[in-house]
Structure 1
């Protein structure tokens, strides 16, 4: 049994102490199976974490475990560290955004490879959405359900939560979201936040169009994602989408 937030060595030594009670180093070594060269360093770290106390008796050092409930303190400390990290990260993001806005113009084209790259591109779209914004999606292929179905559902839920409107022209082989598990999807249609049409064609890619960008995603052996940040190009794609929608 590996104890969360402890190293394997720390976990072995603490478990040994819980089973033994107050013990000398020799007994801890036998019970835990860790090497002699590491035992004192491990005991020191456990002491710093408040999980082990020490006492000298007749010139010999003995170690005692804190109650297992003391492990909860590790979670509290970890949460505190994460909160501090989040504050630092938010501050770093703000500073980087300022540098980005004041530096020379960035390339309008970005590209990513793989599932995480696709998430980066689509998450960026969600992050910049405001209530009432429109998104146009063309081509939702069968493969998107196979390779990224869970993520796309979560993405759509976040889009709906922001009250952004989405129009989708799916491929003819696209999976249907009409069973009972998709009540949230049906509600978004009722609320006029989602509009869908099924094409009788199969588009070669998955296009996500906003008023400022066009993202093209190819579900090949590796997922390839490309985004063009350009209002004029986005506008022309929106007009193209609207023509298809009326057809």
Structure 2
């Protein structure tokens, strides 16, 4: 089975990882039948597309497939083929979900690269939230229009779901002077303050997760699923909020 918008090798490796749930290089090569000389390059490309992350266990690197629903993000780059690709991908998502291995160990840390990796992390966050939950955000990096447009869309979906947000802006950040944003403040769905410093990263904190995104020449995104760690970050955020 070849997935639209992925190469043949990328399809084989991603499908193998979905079935394995998480694995080290040897098993991925065995199950995907992709050569050792190509496997690292393929995994890197899949990571840049937000489809694969990596974790370290006892000094050994394991790779994990993102949820098959992330395949839908690939369509954004192929608008001319969106109708046919959407239908095909939805079919594949159903097939892969039926094959997906059961989780033996909770995934604690995932890392991604690039814009699509950032989107994968933030989608993981918003999918785990529900009405009246509170998400805490620290930092407001200087970003390009494409990323800024996505973050606005993310916030609009958050507001539509009636998820509350407390946002600590960097001192040099540009405010969103837009009606939908102002309305969300009046409805007490959005609360903002400005700090006297510049955050080194973009932090998104929920009850269960902490997402950390670094914007430099490349975008590096990390997500931790751990309630104890989330609580520590929440307490740290609240101390800053009081100042």
TM-score, with length taken from structure 2:
0.61
Structure 1 contact 129–164 (Cα < 8 Å) conserved: yes
Name the structure 2 match of 1:174: 173
* Unpaired stretches in structure 2, ≥5 consecutive residues: 1-81
Structure 1 contact 166–195 (Cα < 8 Å) conserved: yes
Structure 1 pair 194/145, CA: closer, same or farther in 2 (3 Å)?
farther
How many residue pairs end up in the alignment? 162
Task: Measure how far apart 1:133 and its partner are.
Answer: 1.0
Task: Measure how far apart 1:89 and its partner are.
Answer: 3.9
Structure with higher Rg: it is 1
SS of equivalent residue, structure 1 residue 175: coil
SS of equivalent residue, structure 2 residue 143: helix
RMSD: 2.1
- Distance in 2, matches of 1:83 and 1:110, equals 26
Name the structure 2 match of 1:119: 119
* Unpaired stretches in structure 1, ≥5 consecutive residues: 1-77
- Distance in 1, matches of 2:212 and 2:151, equals 15
Structure 1 pair 208/177, CA: closer, same or farther in 2 (3 Å)?
same
The answer on 1:162 being equivalent to 2:158 is no
The answer on 1:139 being equivalent to 2:135 is no
TM-score, with length taken from structure 1:
0.60
- Distance in 1, matches of 2:93 and 2:105, equals 23
SS of equivalent residue, structure 2 residue 214: strand
Deviations 1:134-180 (A, max 9, x none): 10000112x135561111101100111111000000101111112xx
